[in-house]
Chains A and B, each alone.
Chain A
Amino acid sequence: MVEIKKQADDTTKHVTIDVGDGVAIPSKKDRGLFTAWRVAFFGAIAIIAGLVISSPDPYWDILKFVPDGILVTFQVTVESILLALLIGLFTGLGRISKNPLINGIASLYVEVIRGIPLLVQLFYLYFALGRIVNMPPMTSAILAMSICYGAYMGEIFRAGIQSIPDGQMEAARSLGMSSSQAMFHVILPQAFKTILPPVGNEFVALLKDSSLVSILAVSDLLRRGREFAAESFDYFETYTMVALIYLLITLFLSKLISIMEDRIGIENE
């Protein structure tokens, strides 16, 4: 005999989603990773400082040359992630929709985009579609990145929404709320806490992937490095600095995310 019944502890169920293509987010519980984070972070700072002090030419020149690129990298990352979140929200809702057409479109989008490498998507949007619609490189770059990451975000939103117990939707509907009211007031605010860690992870991953846009003549961190190296022929020195700066940024961001997670954890207590 089957009776469809919800467990009493439904409402306290806590789900974490593990999607790992950013960097490992250091948690205080994981001593090894925590130590590795410190070694990598302070090590990178020490190496940059050491190089700049011991041989200002070319390291100091490199360090003066690339900050514009860091700003562009951040611009591409932040604008892409915001757009990707918006696309992801609608994709996630589409993926759980009972309407076969909406569900079909959302699922197809996710499957197609996830099956094509980001670099190919960038080329496609800028060079192939560029023959039809002429877009500035920056616009193409942000559009391609957000379309790509929107598909991943869609899956995160879907998982986040599905992690909320059915009883929440039922309770909201039984109070007379429409399904969109229930989604907006009850489900999404709760799902938000669950999806924040994987979204943070995607943010870091996107920042790293944003280096791909340098091929579209967008002057990001990597592009600035290339420009410097092309003139000075200091390839080794330049790319060492670029790599260390990327490392510092991603380590710093992952730390920020883990602090944010802790905050949310405390609120949940």
Chain B
Amino acid sequence: MIEMKGIVKHFGTLRALDRVSLDVYDGEKVVIIGPSGSGKSTLLRSINSLEWIDAGTIRVDGYDIHDTKTDINKIREEIGMVFQSFNLFPHKTVMENLTLAQRVVRKRSKAESIRIASDLLEKVGIREKANQYSTNLSGGQQQRVAIARALAMQPRLMLFDEPTSALDPEMIGEVLDVMVKLAKEGMTMVVVTHEMGFAREVADRVLFMDEGKIIEQGDPEHFFSNPSHERTRQFMDQIIQ
């Protein structure tokens, strides 16, 4: 579903991504871990072209996303994205957050978009907040709304950029539960997170990144039992504590 080859990205003189290649298959759940500044968020954001890359190719569903003939908006319709800081639209109610893009981008009728949105709010357990403004919601609730908003477009792929990092500890569980449910339904997912419990439960593959490179990859158990690189071992020790 995603084929990335030789991705290079600089921030000034800093090489944020250093010839990274990554393939993600239909239905696969990939978790990316790594210290802050390792390039994992940049890699994720380059998949739907929120981050412009300096070199390399990215294909999503066979379409080269940097080809001028490719309509990036069409590609993005199929890629849901969840941000660390939720990024809900504060001037709209929860329901309007979910229906806006459905109506504007997917051109669905009002009734249909509300029906889809209601089902999704039910699914993320937040149906009763439909008419509230997002600023009145807790962080965990906001992030669940953000997930529902992305799902309302009925994407084929979901990207999660540290979805629980901005949350108070007691709210992390409710968001991870929704993500696990989604994974069990077969959604293709790429998740940047440090939640190893989540990785262990759903990930088909875990990637460890450092200094713009993928250092090591394998199934979650491999990372818990015997990571082969010293740096991976140090990082695992830190986050498992």
Q: A: which residues have CB within 8 A of B?
A: 1-12, 165, 167-168, 170-178, 181, 185-186, 189-190, 193
Contact = CB atoms under 8 A, between A and B. Distances in A.
Contact of B91 (A12, A173, A190): A190
A174 B76 contact: yes
Interface in B20-67: 35-39, 41-42, 48, 50-51
A10 B104 contact: no
Nearest to A12: B135
B74 to A, nearest CB: 7
Contacts, number: 106
A3 B37 contact: yes
A190 B149 CA distance: 19
> Chain B interface: which size bin?
35 or more
A6 B83 CA distance: 9
A9 B86 CA distance: 10
Contacts of A3: 16, 36-39, 41-42
Most chain A CB neighbours (cut-off 10 Å) among B35, B77, B90, B165: B90
A172 B36 CA distance: 26
Interface of B: 11, 14, 16, 35-39, 41-42, 48, 50-51, 73-74, 76-77, 79-81, 83-91, 100-101, 104-106, 134-135, 139, 146, 149-150, 153, 165-166
Given A3-B36, A4-B11, A176-B74, A170 B87 contact: yes
A181 B105 contact: yes
Nearest to A186: B89
A189 B35 CA distance: 37
Contacts of B39: 3
B91 A6 contact: no
A162 B25 CA distance: 38
Contacts of A5: 36, 41, 84
A176 B73 CA distance: 5
A11 B81 contact: no
Contacts of B105: 175-177, 181
A165 B83 CA distance: 13
B150 A175 contact: yes
A37 B16 CA distance: 56
Contacts of A173: 50, 73, 76
A34 B175 CA distance: 48
Nearest to A178: B73
B101 A175 contact: yes
Most chain B CB neighbours (cut-off 10 Å) among A6, A12, A165, A193: A6
A6 B36 contact: no
A189 B93 CA distance: 13
15 contacts: A4-B11, A5-B41, A10-B87, A167-B83, A170-B87, A171-B87, A172-B89, A174-B50, A174-B150, A176-B101, A176-B105, A176-B153, A181-B104, A185-B104, A193-B91
B90 A170 contact: no
Given A170-B50, A174-B48, A176-B101, A2 B87 contact: no
A1 B81 CA distance: 25
